[in-house]
Amino acid sequence: ARPEDHVVVLFGATGDLARRKLLPGLFHLAKAGLMPQRYRIVGSAPAAEALDDEGFRAHARQAVAEFGRSAPEGPAWKEFESALSFGAADPDAPEPLVAAVGDAEQAVGGSPRRLFHLAVPPVAFTSVVDLLGSTGLAQEARVIVEKPFGTDLASARELNAAVHAVFDESRVFRIDHFLGKEAVDNILALRFANGLFEPLWNREHISHVQIDVPEQIDIQGRAHFFEGTGTFRDMVVTHLFQLLGFVAMEPPVALEAQSLRDEQVKVFRSMRPVDPAHVVRGQYAGYRAESGVDPASDTETFVALRVDVDNWRWAGVPFHLRSGKALAEGRHVVTLGLREPVLRMFPLDARAAADGRADELVIDFADPGSVTARFLAKEPGPAMQLGQGSMVFDYGSSFTTDNALEAYEHLILQAMLGDQALFTRSDGIERLWEVSAPLLESPPPVQPYAPGTWGPDSIEALVAPYRWHLPERH
Ligand code: BG6
């Protein structure tokens, strides 16, 4: 079904996220016929950065040309462009925005739904929400909120209170774009639509789980944002913990928002608070010399940690999480290590050959994604020699991915449809900050690592007797 008619208001319309993801994403939705029958998009920013309608259209055209999947041309672009307008908004001067939204609503006709997308820095967040409340624009409207949602439990609670003063939770869509990735949503299909995997998905059969999102890129000039944030807040509290929720959750009653999010939050409630002794914080050599970085900075650009989920399914199964900048490769991988069976029936040299070979399930959720079962197999030849075998499901070669949506496209569409299933909920977010508190209060010192490696050496000890899995590319 198509979303009902909409006026989408994009705060932070001149910012980086809007340029890279949101404007190109909205255009793609329009091209794919997924936007509402009738819609308008109103860009907004503080008066100092204000554009006029023509300026905003040119800005959007450039963004789509640079980052979009198809060029801004032809009838689809003309139609999309004609739906764009601009209204500046400052806390004490909201009039241009109110007028622009009014005009857009009139152009759509009837009583379209309002959707506010807050792609603004955290400091600006509360004032925008207040403005939406005081002008009455928030009435019946929905709001998409970007990460980071707070920096600790106290600030997350404050933000939730500020949002809830204006929007009740059923109208709040907190984005964690990892939940919009096709291959992440496939974790639900893999687990719950098959008889093959779910029976293994517990402490009886799985000895450890790894959630690994190394990045090759460095901070790419984002010192201002990164210095005060660090990898733990930027990647773990948001993306990796959310993924952990999908990997570890009990089967929801149904694939709808309340059931799904209830199960996710139950996982978060079962998580033991992060023990700083089970965390390695790293910083790549050269970080302190980057422009805008404090020469004595203690901000981590890498983090590896062990998380324990104390429930009936996972007790005793460590979850190893890792993410960092300037690492050897960029990957998005979940690995479930299977318990070692009794290999006694195999001859000694076959057992030795099995050493270091993997018996594991690997979910690669880099677009378009793959799932690989790696196991031991008999090598051809007269002797019983064990070697590495694998079975691979590859999205790209199993399906046509023409209809695939990028994470942001998928999530903006879901928000227009009013479906909160892939958005984080206030209690879940608060719980994750609560779980993170011991680490935030006493972080271990950062350890240096050379760019292009997998992080500080001490990460090996963190996961012993297991090891870090580095799956082959397919
Ligand atoms: C963002 C972080 O949320 O996610 C970035 O702020 C990070 O630091 C990015 O690079 C990774 O997203 P993806 O989809 O490219 O893995």
φ, ψ (nearest 5 deg) of residue 354: -75, -20
Which whole number is the average pLDDT over 24-35? 97
Ligand 1 atom with minimal separation from the 178 CA: 14
Cα-based distances in Å from 466 to 77, 315, 333, 356, 459: 52, 17, 17, 10, 11
Ligand 1 atom with minimal separation from the 231 CA: 8
Ligand 1 atom with minimal separation from the 239 CA: 3
Is beta strand 172-174 parallel, antiparallel or unpaired with respect to 142-145?
Answer: parallel
pLDDT over 80 (residue 474): no
pLDDT of residue 247: 98
How far does CA 462 lie from the centroid of its chain? 25
Ligand 1 centroid–CA 146 distance in Å is 12
CB 423 within 8 A of CB 415: yes
**Angle between the 257-270 and 426-441 helix axes, to the nearest 10 degrees?**
20
Kindly indicate whether the ipTM for this predicted assembly is greater than 0.95, answering yes or no: yes
Q: Could you give the 3-state DSSP secondary structure of residue 449?
A: strand
Give the DSSP letter string of 132-178: HHHTSTTTT-EEEEPSP--SSHHHHHHHHHHHHTTS-GGGEEE--GG
Cα-based distances in Å from 357 to 208, 346, 469: 15, 15, 11
Question: Which sequence positions are flagged as catalytic?
Answer: 239
The residue to mutate among 177, 179, 301, having the most atoms of ligand 1 within 8 angstroms of its beta carbon, is 177
Is 320 one of the annotated binding-site residues? no
pLDDT of residue 368: 83
Q: Could you give the 3-state DSSP secondary structure of residue 396?
A: helix
Question: What's the mean pLDDT when you consider all of the chain?
Answer: 95
Is 325 one of the annotated binding-site residues? yes
Among residues 130, 107, 103, the alpha carbon closest in space to that of 116 is found at: 130
Cα-based distances in Å from 56 to 27, 44, 59, 358: 14, 9, 5, 53
The residue to mutate among 182, 215, 284, 300, having the most atoms of ligand 1 within 8 angstroms of its beta carbon, is 215
pLDDT of residue 103: 98
CB 170 within 8 A of CB 256: no
Least confident of 81-95, 171-185, 342-356: 342-356
- Amino acid at the residue 446: V
Three-class SS of 64-104: HHHHCCCCCCHHHHHHHHHCEEECCCECCECHHHHHHHHHH
Among residues 467, 462, 454, the alpha carbon closest in space to that of 356 is found at: 467
- What's the rounded Cα separation, in Å, for the pair 379 and 347? 14
pLDDT of residue 116: 98
Share of the chain above pLDDT 90, in %: 90
Is 262 one of the annotated binding-site residues? no
Q: Write out pLDDT tens, residues 196-254.
A: 999 999 999 999 999 999 999 999 998 998 999 999 999 999 999 999 999 999 999 99
Q: How many CB atoms lie within 10 A of CB 403?
A: 9
Which whole number is the average pLDDT over 89-95? 93
pLDDT over 50 (residue 458): yes
pLDDT over 70 (residue 471): no
Which whole number is the average pLDDT over 80-88? 98
Q: Write out pLDDT tens, residues 115-174.
A: 999 999 888 999 999 999 999 999 999 999 998 899 999 999 999 999 999 999 999 999
pLDDT category at 358 given cuts 50, 70, 90 is confident
Residue list, ligand 1 pocket, CB within 6 Å: 215, 234, 332
Which whole number is the average pLDDT over 184-195? 95
Is 138 one of the annotated binding-site residues? no
Q: Could you give the 3-state DSSP secondary structure of residue 438?
A: helix
Ligand 1 centroid–CA 231 distance in Å is 10
pLDDT category at 356 given cuts 50, 70, 90 is confident
Cis peptide bond N-terminal to 24, omega within 30: no
Cα-based distances in Å from 178 to 98, 235, 262, 413: 33, 10, 18, 15
- What's the rounded Cα separation, in Å, for the pair 308 and 271? 6
Ligand 1 centroid–CA 422 distance in Å is 17
pLDDT category at 260 given cuts 50, 70, 90 is very high
Q: Kind and range of the H or E element at 113?
A: strand 113-118
pLDDT over 80 (residue 472): no
pLDDT category at 355 given cuts 50, 70, 90 is confident
Cα-based distances in Å from 177 to 142, 146, 243, 460: 18, 9, 11, 29
Q: Write out pLDDT tens, residues 274-301.
A: 999 999 999 999 999 999 999 999 999 9
Least confident of 289-298, 363-372, 434-443: 363-372
Higher pLDDT, 368 or 173: 173
pLDDT category at 473 given cuts 50, 70, 90 is low
How far does CA 209 lie from the centroid of its chain? 18
pLDDT of residue 352: 85
